[in-house]
Structure 1
Amino acid sequence: MGWFRYASGDDSAGVHGAFVSVLRESDRRAAGGGVLLTERHLLTCAHVVNVALGKELLAPADPGPVRIGAVFPGTGSRAPHEARVAHWVPPRRTGGGLDWSGDLAVLELDAPAPAVPPRWSEMVPGQGVRAWHGGGHAATFVEVMVKECDGWIGYVDGELSGAAIGPGYSGGPLWSEREGAFVGLVAAQLQAPDGPLAAHHVVRRGWAIPWQAVRAELESAGAGPLLAATGDGAEDAQRVPHQLLLPLAALLSDPAERADKARRVAEQCGLHALDDGSAPTYEELAAVLAEYPRALPSLTEVLVPTAHSSAARDAVDTLHATGPLAAGSRLLSYTEHHYLLALLRQHAKADPALLPRAARGALAYAELPQPVRAARIAPEAVEAAVDALEELGDSGRVPDGTPRVPALLRVAEYVAAALDGAAGDELCGWSDQVATRLGIHPAALAERRRDAEEWASSRHTDSGGTVVRLTRRPGDPSGAYRCTVWRMAPDGTATRASTGKDRPLSGPEIAGLVRDAVAPDDEEAPLVEVVVDRDALQLPVDEWRETEPDDTDPYGIFAPAALGADFRVVLRCPELRRRSPTGAADLRRRWAGCRTEETLAVDELIGDVRALKDTLNRTRQRSTGRVVLHGPVARRIQLLQVCLFMGVPVVLWDRTAAGRDDGRHLDEIDSAGPLDSLPERVRDFRVGVYADSERTARPSLVWEDPDRPLPGGLWLADPVAMTEEK
């Protein structure tokens, strides 16, 4: 890089930060290694993914839309990240049987990685390279030498001392300190076959996939666009540095000033710079700005205080406009990013719900990225949330010719508005500095600040509730459901809070997803609406809890309560009503009748399905909106479906009742009492029966409020197709 030098030692160069541990699905331990390819993509061996999924080592089949866990151990965090297989190059056996070709997988992360993508260079004979075990611990390093490399396979030998490449090293990157770059991936330890080679001949020999082979394979697999972001000298990556040259020349024509500013940027990027009185060329500086995601905002941060003329400010604005064209370019400088994280982690520790609540308020009509969808964000998850918010577009109207207010700044203003005194002022001060660097008009930021203050003064909490959709597909295990969670705003708009990883989940796993997504409410227990098909109306969703008491907590002091104790859990089943040609009108009419008509008690005395339909069709019962079901289980299930088909919006029953005599167990709920508080009365009743082993009643409540629309996707499928819904 000429004037800029990579810091000595692989750790300083960010190598450990880019290292990835690919986790086994079975026990979440390392299946092998990997490496960051772009800010959102990981590179590993296909056979490492097979190991992670418990499949045969060299199975060629693309695993499809599965979820793979990954950890960045070099960042100091063991928090797993979720990724999916984006590109698959299957292992292909060669004729000799000693090695194979292909064997690559690119995994796409749900959120930006907490590390900087590294540089890559070609593998050549004579390079000394370093590898690590898939667990990523620094002590597992192995020093080997590239003995042979034909561009497709590289053979590496280690000395007969120290660690050796072995199981668990596959997929990990090979680092060349001389090149200041990764040069390939570990593929396998060479095993002696039957024939001229014996075990002692290959005890320290492994083989690797050179970078030039990785590049060729990925281009053939359709992943070529990703290579422009690898610092590999790809043609597309060179366009951005060229576009940066003119504004850099206008701002830093003085070599001494250019050297000073470049040295400050290099320090933040973890680079060394020459200290011989020389200055970098514009091309050298542009290359660093294009390679390091926060380098360009870090440079403009030191340029803005001295950009007094309109020409200088125009040049800074040109840099800002050009920056997003660079692969992985970020909004914040290194110092802005670190300072914001420190503030938000402090506030997340005091109130984990503050940041996601502010994001929902500031970006009410935007689809929030996955790291911000949870109802609570712990301090260790703040960085992923901030990085994801950096990627969102800018907000509404601003004075002509001035930049828009980024979504991240708007969220910061809402967090500040919810804080008191100095804490809010400190965050506003940070926002002012970033806005000044970006050239945002003060009036635009002031308008967003007023919006935040109005939001904070009205109400900090959500009152829209949470919608949980449970579905099954053919072949799913008994008792397991696929789960999608939406968070509903008071105006009926929905944002997806969780997808449940698109696999069947147990009750405790679903309870964990729901707890992560439910927004707090200062005034009442949050409402959780569980949408099911008719075959799942008897599910004890309200009894599901994330964990049970164990030996370390025998009394359950720290274990979360059942969902029905903390939340107003109700059921919804639009499937049956959609089968009726008058279903929507019936629901509206009977919902109005919930406040004026008497509650209808239905038991075995009603007779059969036909008798109940006739009863609900009678003139005096056409507006009946509340029904309490009694009687034997089989008959009760049939009569429940009749009620829902006929548009009855509120149905209460006891899942454990054996007959009509058990109906008295629900008297305490007062089903005929005030309508609006019925879900809360059911919740309060559940709290009592959960705590008393002598009480067996377990109430279920269907609550179909027509003024609470469901997310659009829940209305599209017919009852048969619903079992196949993702």
Structure 2
Amino acid sequence: MDPRRLVLIRSGTTQLRRHVGSGYLVAPRLVLTAGHTLRDAESGACWEEIRVRVGHPGRGETLRTGAELIWTHPLDLDVALLLLHDTVDVPGSVRWGHPVETAPLRYEGLGFPLASAEDSRDAEHLRGVLPPLSSGARGLYVLDQEPAPDHRDDGRKAWGGASGTAVFCENHLVGVVIRDDQSYGNRRLHALPAHRFIQDDGFEALLRRYDGGPPRLAEIGATLPTARPAAERSAAEQEAERLLWSLLGGRITYAAHARALVRRLGYSVPDSHEVTVPDLAALVASHPRALPSLSTTLAPALTGEGERTRLTDVLTRARAGGLCLLLSLDEYEHVLELLRGICEEQPTLIPRAAREALRYVWLPEPLNRTHLCAEDLEHVVEHLESVSDSERVPDGTPPVPALLRLLECTAAALEEKSGTELRNWCDRVAARTGIHSVALAERRIDAGRWAAQRPSPLSRVVVEVSRAWTETRESYYCRITLARADGTHTPLHEAESAPRTPEEVARRLRDAIEVVADETGPAAVPHATVLVARDSLHLPVDEWNPGAPNEFVPDQPIGAEFCITLSCPEMSELVRGREREHRRRWESGHAGPLVVGDEPVTPPRLRRLLQTTHRDAVQVVLHGRPEQRDALLELCLALGVPVVLWDRRADCPADGTGLQQVDPTGPLAGLPDRVRVFRGTAFDDPETVPARPALVWEEHSLGPRPESLTLQDPHEGAHAS
């Protein structure tokens, strides 16, 4: 990789720059990049003007010139060649490579992501690991990026502009970055492999013309890690070596296991190659599945109880120290194969099992959706490998991983053949890692109880919002749960998030609402209840805009897309008997609503109305001045009125006409949806429709919550078999 060949690409119209991308000079006048950086996403047409800057901005002189698109792939692969208006002579030439082994390779590249932009685009040194086995049916390379940006507050992609970055492994150009993968928290990119496009006749002809010869593709593989001098070894290598010596010290048979491990991980070594313990430690420190894979062949050879205990201890300490993952390479590949079949046949099963069986575990984002896609399985498995479900297990044996609990629940809900295969996989992993048979058996019993239950359907999303006053910008803490028809609640996101902007809260709320929408079906408009303190009833949560859900659908406020209502549970803590009055009004038969504001109404008069002529009223419509309205609103909530509607922007009783389109005194059941439709109209035409309706809608009590499953640990004192 030569920084002098780095290219910044700006494309658009003659009046306006519309897109930024990255590229790499592969010949004196040819730039390799991603095809989509040169096209209008809406029309598909190529931009009329392309300007480039060749060279690293921090490593000497750069050249600015124009360029034109001269080649795209005939099968619409996302790759292109630009022809520069000027010739750029850079010493050396590009070597093309094709990874052919299975061992992960180190990669690097230079690009211009939006995350690195301040006054102008700065170059970013991309680097990380390319795991060839993670390439799926689409034939793209996976790039696990080490330094990675956070998601942006403005909704724009932090990796925007990195498309077109040339990817290098072992000093060979092996691919081109074409997109990011937000499912992995902005830490994963995807690249189009070079071997898929350099043999195209058009591409080869251009390289012959401008570079003097065709591209030559070399097969490359990862270099087997070897031990550095003792003084230069990293802390991870030193710890790995200590653990391996405690396990292998004095044994003369480990060499065969080490050689089998090296080959299984995808490295090519001759039969005569001897892997020393320090070399093995270097491999363990660089490959997260090396130690579990070594233990797969080593465990059956350890016949003594003390040796087997040491292996379990080494695996436990290595996982705790971040030296390895839970699963060996074979176990990992096998479970992915099993789970892909489950995702195809029952895409809702695994997320449902995770939310119920792992309700106290911070779940990865794909499990917070109703349907799990096969392409998200790697992320889910790798996340849960590092999570244990308990600390209390027999005789100091390792805790049961959350992954095994989830798979036991999944197996319990499957047909006998599929369930047995998954349980057998769990048995083998537990035996290798030293997990107590009693501990796994109790998880299996719990799983059977869970599978026998019929979950109540989801009804709505409940989100608790509170202001983060210590933040300089407007930020909120939010806690999101799914409410079921039987009154139970299942946490969907972390118990208490970091402070979020209104836009970020709206995005999380939209994602949660879509989970409910998947289960309730397309007929019902999803409903979200926002829990706020009484001093936050004025918050315009319904106006918070999560941004466009995709590149085709325009953005709109969250309250125009879904039914967003408020609730103030704090009132029940402050007013004794409020819950009883709240329940009585719902059960009273829905008397006509009380409209307040046509004439001056004081708090004492409103209290008499709500306790006499409107004692059974479920709904109050509030007009009037804000300073009066706030006091009347709190009084309505204190007296157990479950539905209150008002206009946040109203300054006087006359402004009450702004809510007429909502039909505030119409059928109560349709009020939330009428408010939702009105919010959409106000968003489209804010000058003509100035009203901003706020709606408190507190659900009827659904009765006591049923007792949840007891997913407990084995009794203390159980003995290992």
Which bracket does the TM-score occupy, shorter chain normalised? 0.5 to 0.7
SS of aligned partner of 2:463: strand
Partners in 1 of 2:157 and 2:478 — Cα distance? 15
Query: Paired residue for 1:435, among 430, 437, 440?
Result: 430
Q: 2:582: which partner in 1?
A: 591
**Equivalent pair of 2:223/2:267 in contact (CA under 8 Å):** no
Q: 2:252: which partner in 1?
A: 253
SS of aligned partner of 1:466: strand
1:409 positional shift: 0.5
**1:80 matched to 2:77:** no
**Equivalent pair of 2:355/2:492 in contact (CA under 8 Å):** no
Q: Structure 2 vs 1, CA of residues 311 and 286 (structure 1 numbering), >3 Å: closer, same or farther?
A: same
**1:409 matched to 2:404:** yes
Partners in 2 of 1:286 and 1:573 — Cα distance? 58
1:34 positional shift: 2.5
Partners in 2 of 1:279 and 1:179 — Cα distance? 12
Q: Structure 2 vs 1, CA of residues 448 and 327 (structure 1 numbering), >3 Å: closer, same or farther?
A: closer
SS of aligned partner of 2:640: coil
SS of aligned partner of 1:585: coil
Question: Which amino acid is the alignment partner of residue 642 of structure 2?
Answer: V
Q: 1:601: which partner in 2?
A: 593
Q: 1:294: which partner in 2?
A: 289
Q: Structure 2 vs 1, CA of residues 451 and 493 (structure 1 numbering), >3 Å: closer, same or farther?
A: same
**Equivalent pair of 1:237/1:327 in contact (CA under 8 Å):** no
SS of aligned partner of 2:126: strand
Aligned positions of 1:474-485 closer than 5 A: 484-485=478-479
Question: Which amino acid is the alignment partner of residue 242 of structure 2?
Answer: H
Q: Structure 2 vs 1, CA of residues 38 and 290 (structure 1 numbering), >3 Å: closer, same or farther?
A: farther
Structure 2 residues without counterparts, runs of 5 or longer: 1-96, 132-142, 168-174, 196-209, 213-219, 683-688, 704-721
SS of aligned partner of 2:400: coil
Q: 1:57: which partner in 2?
A: none
Q: Structure 2 vs 1, CA of residues 516 and 233 (structure 1 numbering), >3 Å: closer, same or farther?
A: farther
**Equivalent pair of 2:106/2:127 in contact (CA under 8 Å):** no
Q: 2:417: which partner in 1?
A: 422
Q: 2:242: which partner in 1?
A: 242
Partners in 2 of 1:249 and 1:526 — Cα distance? 62
1:367 positional shift: 3.5
Q: 1:505: which partner in 2?
A: 503
Q: 1:468: which partner in 2?
A: 463
Partners in 1 of 2:694 and 2:152 — Cα distance? 38
Q: 1:354: which partner in 2?
A: 349
SS of aligned partner of 1:487: strand
RMSD value, Cα: 5.7
Partners in 2 of 1:566 and 1:664 — Cα distance? 16
**1:327 matched to 2:317:** no
Partners in 1 of 2:271 and 2:376 — Cα distance? 39
**Equivalent pair of 1:402/1:439 in contact (CA under 8 Å):** yes
Partners in 2 of 1:698 and 1:423 — Cα distance? 54
**Equivalent pair of 1:399/1:444 in contact (CA under 8 Å):** yes
**Equivalent pair of 1:631/1:659 in contact (CA under 8 Å):** no
For structure 1, which segment, 421-430 or 357-366, has the greater mean C-alpha deviation from structure 2 after superposition? 421-430
Q: Structure 2 vs 1, CA of residues 546 and 590 (structure 1 numbering), >3 Å: closer, same or farther?
A: farther
SS of aligned partner of 1:529: strand
Partners in 2 of 1:312 and 1:488 — Cα distance? 47
Q: Structure 2 vs 1, CA of residues 325 and 667 (structure 1 numbering), >3 Å: closer, same or farther?
A: closer
Aligned positions of 1:126-275 closer than 5 A: 233-235=233-235, 237-249=237-249, 253-254=252-253, 258-275=254-271
1:411 positional shift: 1.0
**Equivalent pair of 1:249/1:282 in contact (CA under 8 Å):** no
Deviations 1:118-142 (A, max 9, x none): xxxxxxxxxxxxxxxxx977769xx
SS of aligned partner of 2:296: helix
Q: Structure 2 vs 1, CA of residues 355 and 309 (structure 1 numbering), >3 Å: closer, same or farther?
A: same
**1:24 matched to 2:21:** no
**TM-score, length of structure 1 as denominator length:** 0.58
SS of aligned partner of 1:484: strand
**Equivalent pair of 2:457/2:519 in contact (CA under 8 Å):** yes
Q: 2:126: which partner in 1?
A: 34
Deviations 1:442-474 (A, max 9, x none): 332222122112112213466585333556789
Aligned positions of 1:531-542 closer than 5 A: 531-532=531-532, 537=538, 539=540, 541=542
1:594 positional shift: 2.0
Question: Which amino acid is the alignment partner of residue 387 of structure 2?
Answer: L
Q: 1:626: which partner in 2?
A: 618
For structure 1, which segment, 446-455 or 518-527, has the greater mean C-alpha deviation from structure 2 after superposition? 518-527
Q: Structure 2 vs 1, CA of residues 605 and 289 (structure 1 numbering), >3 Å: closer, same or farther?
A: closer
Query: Paired residue for 1:702, among 688, 696, 704?
Result: 696
Q: 2:71: which partner in 1?
A: none
**Equivalent pair of 1:20/1:34 in contact (CA under 8 Å):** yes
Q: Structure 2 vs 1, CA of residues 537 and 504 (structure 1 numbering), >3 Å: closer, same or farther?
A: closer
SS of aligned partner of 2:529: strand
Question: Which amino acid is the alignment partner of residue 368 of structure 1?
Answer: L
Q: Structure 2 vs 1, CA of residues 519 and 329 (structure 1 numbering), >3 Å: closer, same or farther?
A: farther
**Equivalent pair of 2:646/2:693 in contact (CA under 8 Å):** yes
**Equivalent pair of 2:292/2:326 in contact (CA under 8 Å):** yes
Q: Structure 2 vs 1, CA of residues 410 and 18 (structure 1 numbering), >3 Å: closer, same or farther?
A: farther
Q: Structure 2 vs 1, CA of residues 704 and 290 (structure 1 numbering), >3 Å: closer, same or farther?
A: same
Question: Which amino acid is the alignment partner of residue 282 of structure 1?
Answer: V
Partners in 2 of 1:353 and 1:562 — Cα distance? 28
SS of aligned partner of 1:467: strand
1:307 positional shift: 4.2
SS of aligned partner of 1:629: strand
1:544 positional shift: 7.5
1:242 positional shift: 1.7
**Equivalent pair of 2:545/2:557 in contact (CA under 8 Å):** yes
Q: Structure 2 vs 1, CA of residues 77 and 545 (structure 1 numbering), >3 Å: closer, same or farther?
A: same
Question: Which amino acid is the alignment partner of residue 628 of structure 1?
Answer: V
Deviations 1:301-329 (A, max 9, x none): 22334445535533432432342255341
SS of aligned partner of 1:426: helix
Aligned positions of 1:278-289 closer than 5 A: 279-289=274-284
1:687 positional shift: 9.0
Question: Which amino acid is the alignment partner of residue 378 of structure 1?
Answer: C
Q: Structure 2 vs 1, CA of residues 364 and 538 (structure 1 numbering), >3 Å: closer, same or farther?
A: closer
Question: Which amino acid is the alignment partner of residue 14 of structure 1?
Answer: P
SS of aligned partner of 1:502: coil
**Equivalent pair of 1:395/1:405 in contact (CA under 8 Å):** yes
Question: Which amino acid is the alignment partner of residue 104 of structure 2?
Answer: G
Q: 1:62: which partner in 2?
A: none
Deviations 1:567-600 (A, max 9, x none): 664312457x49xxx7332532422332455646
**Equivalent pair of 2:255/2:275 in contact (CA under 8 Å):** yes
**Equivalent pair of 1:464/1:492 in contact (CA under 8 Å):** no
1:430 positional shift: 1.9
Question: Which amino acid is the alignment partner of residue 418 of structure 2?
Answer: A
**Equivalent pair of 2:404/2:426 in contact (CA under 8 Å):** yes
Partners in 2 of 1:664 and 1:686 — Cα distance? 6
Partners in 2 of 1:549 and 1:438 — Cα distance? 43
Partners in 1 of 2:420 and 2:677 — Cα distance? 45
**1:366 matched to 2:383:** no
1:380 positional shift: 2.3
Partners in 1 of 2:550 and 2:191 — Cα distance? 34
